[in-house]
Amino acid sequence: MIWIAGAFVLGEVAAYLADGATAEGTGMPFFLPALFFIAGAALPAAAYLRTGEGISEKAAGRILILFLLFLSGAFRMHGAMAKEPAEQLLEENGSRRGVRLLGLTDRVEEKDGKLTLLLSEVLIDGEQTASKVRLSVKEEDCSEIPAPGDRVLAIGMLSLFEEAANPGQFDFRMHYRGQGVRYRLLADRISVSQRASPKSPALQMADPARAFLSRGFGKICTEEDAAICRALLLGDRSGLEDDLQKLFRDNGISHILAVSGLHVSLIGLTVYELFRQAGAGYAGAGFVTGLLLLLYGTITGFGASVFRAVFMVGCRIAAAIPGRGYDMLSAWGLALLLLAVHSPWLLFSSGLQLSFGAVLAIGILGDLEKEEHRARLFTGEEEKRQIPAPLRVSLFLQLFVMPITLWHYFRLPVLAFLLNLAVIPLLAYAAGSAICAVGLWSLSRAAMLWGCSGASAGVFRLARMAMGPCHYIFLLYRRLCEWTGRIPFAQLVPGRPSLWRIVLFYLLLWMAFGIGSRTGVPDEGMWGRIRGPVSSRSGKCLCIIAAFLILLWHPVRGLDLWFLDVGQGDGLLVRTADHAILSDCGSSDVKNLGEMRLLPALQCLGTSHLDYILVSHADEDHVSGIRFLLEECRDVEADTLVMPAAGKGDEAYGMLENAAAER
């Protein structure tokens, strides 16, 4: 199954890259099929050179099936990239005002007096669209608050999501495409045209359950703990402070601020075992657990990582009913295939890549260790002294997902593998504590409704006490990140690696851990000749060091100029092998320019130190990004601020000078 999913996903990625290359005129559409056919011809040739015989019919059939899956993935991505008429019109002419929209409400979120609705089955000016629409409106502009299942009529400005125009800039268009959303509507007013209930019972229960649990966390713990619990268990990150998210992200533990497979597995397998021990049997316990996981997934929004975890836990439970074995990598491959078929754009999201990448790393390491153990038993070799299992898993996992981390976040938390040794085991206790606490709070609410105020108060105090372990675990996480951040070189910012570096990195890992660790590979033949140099400890170390250097070290050659897209304004980054200069950076129409465009661009390019910041004049469209670097940003160092002598004494220049002096 892992090969099937891999071939299909590779076809989708190849189609996406080919489409981008077509736009750039590089001829990639001709190169990719040619490369695949060459690879297909090379396999029989390699088999003939190695054994003197041709490839078997069985192997040829498998290669043909994989090739057809590759083509299927390419056609699926080609269809997903097709633009709808409304989308084409918006790309050509920009945003449209006065658009009339009718749609079915799937989800409603409320925050700070604003409503955000997710609409499906949408009519845009009477024309049907297959995509969903994200609608934002002020509560005061609503005649009544819609509920999931209602049909709403809205009038406002329709637009597309913003694409990434600079290195490192977040691509909102691709992000929302992964969720099936292509348009956004800033509504002037909305009204409910038809009251109805969601078709799915899970959707009917999801919003009230989410709101109830969210309110419960707000009652039984501090504001910060409540925000973390909502992110951890409900998938709601809206209440998290930016400083806390940055602290956890920079230290490599931001995964605890999202619903992960650990939580889903903890909930699902605990409920399954409880029902099974109570006498429900494998089938009964599995049925109840499956319904609960579907409801929980709907409450959290069924992101890619949640779907993977729910699906894999479901496969594990389903395998236990007839007494069959459970293969983690097969379940992983089927989950990836289903997501790739449903929404190809999800393949490019950091959440999916990190979630599936982490599970793949654990599965590969487990299979390698089993294979090596069997080979040693067969050959009679003595067991070598190894790194302790938890540290070995953490190291391999961090190594395996390193390219994904660098691609999306541009920085490498060097000590993340040590932090995660403490964070991940404690996370189960934190989640269990929070679940227990909110469950007790629910009982206290029920007791209050039944008129038992004394019992309600007592259970409420128990809920606050049950939240204690979770509070102190979160506090420990914060302190560990703060202490780690003070260690020199605890965080490196090498920037985003190119695709060929990532491919070469994984090839070297395969040589070190794949071929080099397989004791059953014969010493003669092609694989034996490759295995010989890399099977020793020094050979493996050289492969890993080479992989690190290829991924982390990419120096500037010659003169490198970057003209940043800042809207109405200017921004120029000049780099050489030894120096980096920022000449003006500001905008009069782009909000949060420094945080959303300038800083990501610098980090994506691996520039954490500027020798000079040049200011031609102090208008907002030339200095708003520079002001962010000087006043708020501590991730980029700057040596010298250069301003025109004619501006001496001017208030705007004085503010920049003071900000530079206080750094």
Phi and psi based region of residue 113 (left: phi greater than 0; alpha: psi -120 to 50; beta: remaining): left
- Looking at the structure, do residues 102 and 20 belong to the same domain, yes or no? no
105 and 172 in a single domain? The answer is yes
Quote the CA–CA distance of 596 and 105 in Å, as a whole number: 30
Task: Give which of 350, 625, 580, 602 is closest to 496, Cα–Cα.
Answer: 602
Supply the range of the domain harboring residue 639. 560-662
Helices (H), 386-449: 389-400, 402-409, 416-449
Tell me whether residue 531 is in a domain. Answer: no
Residue with tokens 């909110």: 438
Whether residue 329 is contained in a domain is answered as no
Do 193 and 132 fall into the same domain? yes
Q: 30 and 104 share a domain?
A: no
Q: Which of 62, 81, 100 is the last residue of a domain?
A: 81
Do 73 and 177 reside in the same domain of the chain?
Answer: no
89 plus 26 within the same structural domain: no
What is the Cα–Cα distance from 365 to 329, expressed in whole angstroms? 11
Structure token digits, residue 663: 């750094």
**Pair (585, 651) in one structural domain:** yes
Q: Which of 37, 58, 81 is the last residue of a domain?
A: 81
Starting from the edge strand earliest in sequence, which strands make up the sheet with 609-614, in order?
A: 560-563, 569-575, 580-587, 609-614, 637-642
Flag whether 237 is in a domain: no
What is the C-alpha to C-alpha distance for residues 613 and 615, in angstroms, rounded to an integer? Answer: 7
Q: Is residue 245 part of a domain?
A: no
Residue 475 lies in a domain: no
101, containing H or E segment = strand 96-111
d(CA 106, CA 196): 11
> Could you tell me where the beta strands, DSSP code E, fall in 161-257?
181-194
Is the separation of the CB atoms in 644 and 617 below 8 Å? yes
Reading phi first (left if > 0) and then psi (alpha if -120 to 50, else beta), residue 302 is in left
Alpha-carbon distance 571 to 579, whole Å? 17
How many domains, in total, are found in the chain? 3
The C-alpha atoms of residue 542 and residue 519 are separated, in whole angstroms, by 19
Q: How much is the pLDDT for 62?
A: 77
The pLDDT score that the predictor gives to residue 324 is: 83
One domain, residues 93 and 138: yes
625 part of a folded domain? yes
Same domain, 75 and 114: no
94/191 same-domain check: yes
Query: Which residue, of 81, 111, 133, is where some domain finishes?
Result: 81
DSSP character at residue 548: H
CA angle (435 as vertex; 432, 439 as ends), nearest 5: 140
CA distance 390 to 307: 26
State the 10-residue block means of pLDDT for the chain, 663 residues long: 86 82 42 52 54 64 82 89 88 89 87 87 82 89 84 92 92 91 91 75 77 89 90 85 88 83 77 84 86 86 85 87 85 92 91 89 84 66 67 87 92 88 87 90 84 81 91 93 88 91 90 63 54 69 89 89 90 93 90 91 93 90 90 89 85 86 81
CA-to-CA separations, 476 to 220, 230, 246, 322, 427, in angstroms, rounded: 19, 18, 16, 43, 11
Residue 538 pLDDT: 78
| Co-location of 134 and 169 in the same domain | yes
Q: What CATH number does the domain containing 622 carry?
A: 3.60.15.10
- Cα separation, 318 vs 326, in Å, equals 9
Looking at the domain assignment, is residue 469 inside a domain? no
Do both 173 and 104 map to the same domain? yes
Give the pairing of strands 96-111 and 151-160: antiparallel
- How far apart CA 584 and CA 626 sit, in angstroms, is 7
Domain membership of residue 452 (yes or no) is no
